[in-house]
């Protein structure tokens, strides 16, 4: 049964499962692009729609300021950002949160294909973009 307050619980559960499948299949040490490609293949195999290198426009005072590229958006509902570094930089979760603000989507996953697999589920209740709550979750 779904817990109250979780956004896109079934979708995020499936995508997190795909993350662990890819991590277990490839292990640690590849560059980010390899993991993104593996994750895309695994997600498509699970029946998800995957949009890669999604360009989103950032607005300031109603005017287009710049564009940012997201690693992927799954099923048009979930932002996915992939990192493949030995240590996850402290700004990585802020990056996902900013993607949520720019896309007006409400949930994002940050996957760390590091020495040990790790993921973070971030969300923002749009359209007001209340403060992000990041929950670190590890196996």
Find the CATH number of the domain harbouring 30: 3.40.1350
Most confident of 3-7, 17-21, 57-61, 67-71: 17-21
**Residue 53 to residue 70: CA distance in whole angstroms:** 5
| In-domain check, residue 85 | yes
Number of domains in the chain: 1
| In-domain check, residue 4 | no
Range of the domain at 16: 9-137
Classified as helix, coil or strand, 50 is strand
pTM, full prediction: 0.84
Beta-bridge partners for 108: 79, 122
Please, what is the end-to-end C-alpha distance for the chain in angstroms?
20
pLDDT of residue 131: 40
| In-domain check, residue 1 | no
| In-domain check, residue 101 | yes
pLDDT of residue 57: 87
């Amino acid at each position: 049964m779904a817990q109250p307050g979780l956004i896109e619980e079934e979708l995020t559960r499936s995508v997190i499962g795909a993350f662990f499948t890819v991590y277990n299949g490839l292990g640690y040490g590849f560059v980010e692009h390899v993991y993104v490609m593996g994750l895309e293949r695994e997600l498509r195999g699970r029946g998800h729609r995957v949009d890669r290198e999604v360009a989103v426009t950032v607005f300031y005072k109603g005017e287009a300021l710049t564009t940012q590229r997201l690693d992927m958006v799954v099923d048009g509902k979930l932002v996915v950002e992939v990192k493949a570094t030995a240590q996850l930089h402290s700004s990585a979760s802020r990056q996902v949160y900013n993607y949520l603000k720019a896309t007006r989507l409400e949930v994002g996953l940050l996957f760390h294909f590091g020495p040990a697999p790790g993921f973070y589920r971030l969300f923002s209740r749009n359209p007001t973009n209340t403060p992000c709550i990041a929950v670190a979750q590890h196996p």
